[in-house]
Amino acid sequence: MIAPNLEKANPRKRFLSKGVSKLRAFAQKGSSIIATVKSTLLPVVVTLILSSCGGDATPPRASPPADSSPPIITLSGDANMTHEQGTTYSDPGAIATDVVDGNVDVVVSGAVDAAIAATYTLTYSASDNAGNSSSVTRTVVVADTIAPEITLLGDAIVTIEQGTVFSDPGATATDSVDGSLEVSVSGMVGSAVGDYTLKYTATDSVGNTTSIDRMVKVILDGDPVTGNCGVVADSSVYQIANPEATKMFGDPTLTLCHSDHFVVRTGYDDADLLDEHLAPGGYLSEDNQAALLGRAEEIWAFFINVMGFKPPYENQDIRYKVNLHVTDYGYLSGGTFDGGSDGWPPGRHAHVAMIHFATEGYGGLTHEFSHALQNMVNGADWFEFGGWFSESHANYMRGQFEGYNNRPDDGCSVALITSPHQYYGTTRNRYCNWLFLDFLAQEQGYDVVNKMWSASVNSPDFELDEFTGDSIPSQCGEIDGPFATLLRVLNWDIAQLNDLFGRWAMANITWDYDQKGGFFKKEYGTPSAVSPFDATWHRMTRLNVLDADKNQYVSPDFSSPQRWGYNVIQLFPDSGAQSIDIEFRGVVQEQSARTKLFGSFNKEPSYIPHPNSGWRYGVVVVDSSGNSRKSALQSSPYGNMTVDLAADDVEVYLIVLGAPTELEQIRWDQMFYSVYRYPYRIQLNGAVPYGHEPVVFPNVAGGPHSNGGGFVAATATLSESAYVGPEAMVLDFASVTENARIEGRAVIRNEAVVFGQAVVKDHAQVNGVAGVYGNATVRDSAQINDVVRIHENAEVGANTRLVGQTVVKGNAKVLSTNNERPMDPNSIIGGNTQLLGDIEHSVQEMTGSTGIWY
């Protein structure tokens, strides 16, 4: 631009004082004139701003309004908390933000003394630079809710000879708050032969009580207690079958030490290794054999004498010792084998096989011995409908023994609570679903569970009208199964059995088990204890929105409960709500959607069963002390419930169980698509369900993404073109670039990457250094972990959990409901492969397939 001629423009001159001699001005057309005036008399330089259009200077701007808004304080964690007395309290803190000053400091007043049970109030205050202030409070209830722990001194099962005075070694008790406690003992040891129970009890200062039993077995004077070595036969009730045996299972064998009910045999391929193990200090030294036999006798005493399970060879003229077959191959197994050759007496013979290094504990021995007991008493061939039951029951037996001896173990039950929607009896968690049997025994006694074996068709306790014993054709046993047997034993109808399963599902919220409830509370907590990194992500069901305005929801197709499977849905009460109204509507199916008979593929039913739609549902409320109260169990497919809330309630759960109105017999490992699911709808007033509660973004540096408004951590990498929906999150060092979309409540974290046209949505989680790219889609509640890659046009959804180095590509679909065993961690799945339902996938490469696999 060319500056105008200032002389011709005749600018105004404003003199500050006499003696001003020069005016230098510089101007640019269309802008203000900046004039510098120099005085020859005064040492002053003044800059004037004039209008280039001849007008006055720009008027001053209006002052901003005064700051009258106080900071907003957000608590990290809950406003009402319960803390276990005697444990370190760590305050989760709070953050405060101000519309003018941004983040401001929070001052905390008050303190929590975790050593003293009381209710404490913490006040969080914040002030901005204008003097506006605000405060919020948190209530912390310190309480002692953990029962004392009792440790027996000496063994839990003690054997003494008649006439010997029993000297009680006692027990000790410790409490997390009170320290050492006195232990009271009830019961006595008599002089007659038999089993006696001593109960040790301890109670802390607030009334938490625990107890443990010791069994004292009084035997006849001279009976062997542990083992005899170098003896090939004896005159005890239980004899050694084939004492001169040279072969067992076709392999060379040696007969070694024995006790009242067991005998040790060998099965080694390596003769030199056998000699090494027979030497002092070896796995099969006489001392170690005696220890093995002693453990086996402990287990026998509990299973047979305490639980009342029928012993092997019951009602037979000659009874034989159980064979403990120690090998240098395999691992652990148990059951029976048929005699009649190689010197073995005809009939079934019980055995437990174990590799040498597995002979030193109780866990495998209890489980495998249970299989031997099952096979010896069960006259029905349950393989078709109850093959899974042997593993479930064996872990139940192990759980009873270990709980009785104060050695509780979860027995892999996490696989049940992370996939509770699957039908009870699915082989996907057959080792891990034993908690129902524990609950059954708690309500009905050990004998009822025992008779699920001994009262099966053609078994010793079988009764059906005028039919007894082996008068029923064997085919009837094949199609009978454990639940038909249970209904006969209890003389129940299906409605009563459905009620039992409903009560069990509700008990699993706060682990209402007499023997192991405290252990499970510590191990698993309530269903709200979920992690996006492991299978607990699927403990609760995330319902789909049916009508948001009416607060109506529907169970997802893939996780609607199957027979005696159940959904857990946490309900989040509205602020200030005094109650929650629930309208339940089961989706009643009048007839099968399929008209063509099954039978083309393995594990399909031979007929199309009626849907028999039915449900059980109820509500469990948990208070700040961890105690629960339960609503009445409901069964109507169209029902309404109102749940009143109390001030100290902290968690509310709706439980919905699939409960068909007729006994639904499901084949062992039956195809997923041929097993009914029981969907339902709910309408809520006063609460929202899990997955639809207000989103809480993490307290880390970051903010809303410009494209979508979702939370992006300051450490993450985002393209402006990438979309992050308002409830989605990108955390840690994750990267979302190009045209990728993160929708719903999906979360990308760690160092995961999503790019291209990929979409991650709903409640999906992408963790680790996993990658989703191309045109791939990850949806529903899927979990992508480790270094998994999903790309091209692949789709992963439902409850699928992928780990390791799995690759899903091409047009492949993986929509799995199975969480116990994820896909093979090194598999490559491509082409048009579809892996659906409760798939168990162990094929490392499936890229050329066009098949659909279940």
315-344 tens-digit pLDDT: 888 999 999 999 999 999 999 999 998 899
Q: What is the mean pLDDT of residues 349-366?
A: 93
Helix, strand, or coil here: 116? coil
Query: Is pLDDT at 227 greater than 60 in this prediction?
Result: no
Q: What local confidence, expressed as pLDDT, does residue 348 receive?
A: 92
Query: Is pLDDT at 26 greater than 70 in this prediction?
Result: no
CA 18 to mean position of chain CA atoms: 91
Higher pLDDT: 603 or 471? It is 603
Q: Phi-psi region for residue 488, left (φ > 0), alpha (ψ -120 to 50) or beta?
A: alpha
Q: Smallest Cα–Cα separation from 388: which of 355, 424, 354?
A: 424
Can you give 275-324 as a three-state secondary structure string? HHHHCCCCCCCHHHHHHHHHHHHHHHHHHHHHCCCCCCCCCCCCEECEEE
Q: What is the mean pLDDT of residues 571-595?
A: 95
Q: What is the mean pLDDT of residues 503-520?
A: 94
d(CA 588, CA 678): 8
Beta strands per DSSP E along 731-817: 735-736, 741-742, 747-748, 753-754, 759-760, 765-766, 771-772, 777-778, 783-784, 789-790, 795-798, 801-802, 807-808, 813-816
Q: Across-strand partners of 84?
A: 143
Helix, strand, or coil here: 505? helix
Q: What local confidence, expressed as pLDDT, does residue 14 receive?
A: 38
Q: What local confidence, expressed as pLDDT, does residue 395 receive?
A: 95
Contacts for 112 with CB less than 8 Å, ≥ 6 apart: 83, 89, 91, 120, 122, 140, 142
What separation, in Å, do the N-terminal and C-terminal C-alpha atoms of the chain show?
Answer: 77
Q: How confident is the model at residue 493 (pLDDT cuts 50, 70, 90)?
A: very high
The pLDDT > 70 percentage for the chain reads 87
DSSP string, 630-643: EPPPB--SEEEEEE
Order the strands of the 845-846 sheet from edge to edge.
717-718, 735-736, 753-754, 771-772, 789-790, 807-808, 828-829, 845-846
Q: Which range, 199-213, 657-671, 726-740, is most confident?
A: 726-740
Q: What is the mean pLDDT of residues 823-851?
A: 84
pTM: predicted TM-score of the whole model, two decimal places: 0.74
Contacts for 499 with CB less than 8 Å, ≥ 6 apart: 616, 633, 635
d(CA 354, CA 374): 18
- The Cβ-side half-sphere exposure at 137, using a 13 Å CA radius, reads 9
d(CA 97, CA 255): 79
Q: What local confidence, expressed as pLDDT, does residue 160 receive?
A: 84
Q: What is the mean pLDDT of residues 251-279?
A: 93
Query: Is pLDDT at 233 greater than 90 in this prediction?
Result: no
d(CA 369, CA 372): 5
Q: What angle do CA 17, 18, 19 make, to 5 degrees?
A: 115
d(CA 614, CA 596): 24
Q: What local confidence, expressed as pLDDT, does residue 21 receive?
A: 39
Mean pLDDT of the chain: 87
Q: Cβ distance 773 to 791 under 8 Å?
A: yes
Q: What is the pLDDT of residues 362-378, one digit of tens each?
A: 889 999 999 999 999 98
Q: What local confidence, expressed as pLDDT, does residue 228 receive?
A: 59
Query: Is pLDDT at 765 greater than 60 in this prediction?
Result: yes
Helix, strand, or coil here: 436? helix
Q: Which domains does the chain have, with CATH numbers?
A: 6-51 (no CATH), 72-143 (2.60.40.10), 149-219 (2.60.40.10), 230-249+264-377 (no CATH), 536-689 (2.60.120.510), 709-853 (2.160.10)
Q: Cβ distance 134 to 69 under 8 Å?
A: no
Q: What local confidence, expressed as pLDDT, does residue 821 receive?
A: 66
Q: Smallest Cα–Cα separation from 368: which of 345, 344, 394, 343?
A: 394
Q: How confident is the model at residue 60 (pLDDT cuts 50, 70, 90)?
A: low
Q: Cβ distance 398 to 439 under 8 Å?
A: no
